[in-house]
Amino acid sequence: MLAIIGGSGMTKLPCLEISHRQIVRTPYGEPSGPLTFGKIRDHEIVFLARHGHGHTIPPHAVNYRANLWALHLFKPKRVIAVVSVGGIRSDLSPGKIVVPNQIIDYTYGRKFTYFDNTDRPITYTDFTYPFCSRARDYLFKAAKLANEVVIDGGVYAVTQGPRLETAAEVNRLEQDGADMIGMTGMPEAVLARELGLSYAAIAAVANHAAGRGASIRAIPLEEVYAVLDKAMESVRNILEHLVIINDD
């Protein structure tokens, strides 16, 4: 089974033939919503909208621990996280699709580990490579089958949100080595690693990061959403082909 976490621009999967929805209780509280089970092209998947069905949960308030815990109970073969980002690197222009390979975490105050109890030994998690290489490879195979162009690699800077960054902050992030900016990659990625899940992200570039692009003016959000909607069509196409090869 493939698990898909939908982000901004993807609160549901139109191609999904829904069989049922299930409320899951976890030791870490409530997930963002019920898990949606169904099939795409006769292959089973489970889907969770990270921000809730109505996109009402801001990035810093998402219960990432509950979300990942709920998904792992159903033993998915892979977990694919759909994220939207602002592009810093020149080739990451609005509408492009990228599969990041690294993360820099700038978040704070989020519940970021399952190993925070003092009644058991300290557990250290190897996070050298934050995304599963096999899951990333499957995304590239699916993109090829779907005739979609996907950029291989990039450093995903995860900021706290929900506000967007200043131009000065983007300059700093670029100096740190970041290629794109989003708000939901952490602690989602490390929690998946702690649970032993094969996890990768596919990112839709919704806009140029602040101070980047041909124009440095602030881009109206309605323009950003229009670009994101179009990019998500490509992401959905890739996911539809991914379910075919996920069982291989």
CA distance 106 to 6: 22
Q: Check the annotation: does 50 bind a ligand.
A: yes
* pTM (predicted TM-score): 0.93
**Residue 219 scores a pLDDT above 70:** no
Which of 203, 204, 218 lies closest to 166 in space, CA to CA? 218
What's the pLDDT band for 123 if we cut at 50, 70, 90? confident
**38 closest CA partner among 18, 58, 23:** 18
Q: What is the pLDDT of residues 21-40, one digit of tens each?
A: 999 999 999 999 999 999 98
Residue position matching structure tokens 């099939």? 39
32 is in an annotated binding site: no
Which pLDDT score is estimated for 84? Answer: 93
Buried b (16+ CB within 10 A) or exposed e, 165-198: beeebbbebbeeebbbbbbbbbbbbbbbbbbebb
Long-range CB pairs of 147-152, under 8 A, 24+ apart, other chains included = 148/97, 148/234, 148/237, 148/238, 149/96, 149/97, 150/97, 150/98, 150/99, 150/202, 150/238, 151/91, 151/92, 151/96, 151/97, 151/98, 151/99, 152/98, 152/99, 152/101
Residue 180 counted as an annotated binding residue: no
* Residue ranges making up the domain that contains 97: 2-246
Number of domains in the chain: 1
**241 annotated among ligand-binding-site residues:** no
Per residue in 52-97, pLDDT (tens digit) is: 988 899 999 999 999 999 999 999 999 999 999 999 999 999 999 9
pLDDT band for position 220 (cuts 50, 70, 90): low
We report the CATH number of the domain holding residue 114 as 3.40.50.1580
CB 135 within 8 A of CB 78: yes
Q: Grade residue 9 by pLDDT with cuts at 50, 70 and 90.
A: low
Place of tokens 């670009």: 227
Residue labelled with tokens 């709920």: 70
CA–CA distance, 16 with 26 (Å, rounded to integer)? 25
Beta strands in the chain, from DSSP E residues, in sequence order: 2-6, 17-22, 35-40, 43-49, 78-87, 97-99, 102-105, 151-152, 155-158, 180-182, 199-208
Q: What average pLDDT does the structure give for the chain?
A: 91
SS3 154: coil
The reply to whether 43 sits in an annotated binding site is no
Determine if residue 209 is labeled as part of a ligand binding site: yes
